[in-house]
A and B are shown apart, each in its own frame.
Chain A
Amino acid sequence: GAGVSQSPSNKVTEKGKDVELRCDPISGHTALYWYRQSLGQGLEFLIYFQGNSAPDKSGLPSDRFSAERTGGSVSTLTIQRTQQEDSAVYLCASSLGLGANNEQFFGPGTRLTVL
Chain B
Amino acid sequence: AQSVAQPEDQVNVAEGNPLTVKCTYSVSGNPYLFWYVQYPNRGLQFLLKYITGDNLVKGSYGFEAEFNKSQTSFHLKKPSALVSDSALYFCAVGTTSGTYKYIFGTGTRLKVLA
Which residue numbers of A lie inside 8 Å of B, CB to CB?
4, 31, 33, 35, 41-43, 45, 48, 50, 55-56, 58-59, 91, 93, 98-101, 103-109
A56 pairs with B101, CB closer than 8 A: yes
Contact pick for B43, options A4, A59, A99, A103, CB 8 Å = A4
Contact pick for B44, options A55, A58, A91, CB 8 Å = A91
User: For residue B95, which residues in chain A have a CB less than 8 angstroms away from its CB?
Assistant: 100
Q: Which residue of A lies closest to B101 (CB)?
A: A45
Residue among B42, B90, B94 facing the most chain A CB atoms (10 A cut-off): B94
Query: A93 CA to B42 CA in the complex, in Å?
Result: 13
User: For residue B44, which residues in chain A have a CB less than 8 angstroms away from its CB?
Assistant: 43, 91, 93, 104, 106
A101 pairs with B43, CB closer than 8 A: no
Q: Which residue of A lies closest to B97 (CB)?
A: A100
Is the CB of B96 closer than 8 A to any CB of chain A?
yes
User: For residue B90, which residues in chain A have a CB less than 8 angstroms away from its CB?
Assistant: 42-43
Query: A4 CA to B34 CA in the complex, in Å?
Result: 19
B102 pairs with A104, CB closer than 8 A: yes
* Residues 41-56 of chain B, each 1 if its beta carbon lies under 8 Å from chain A, else 0: 0111110010100000
Contact pick for A109, options B43, B102, B104, B107, CB 8 Å = B43
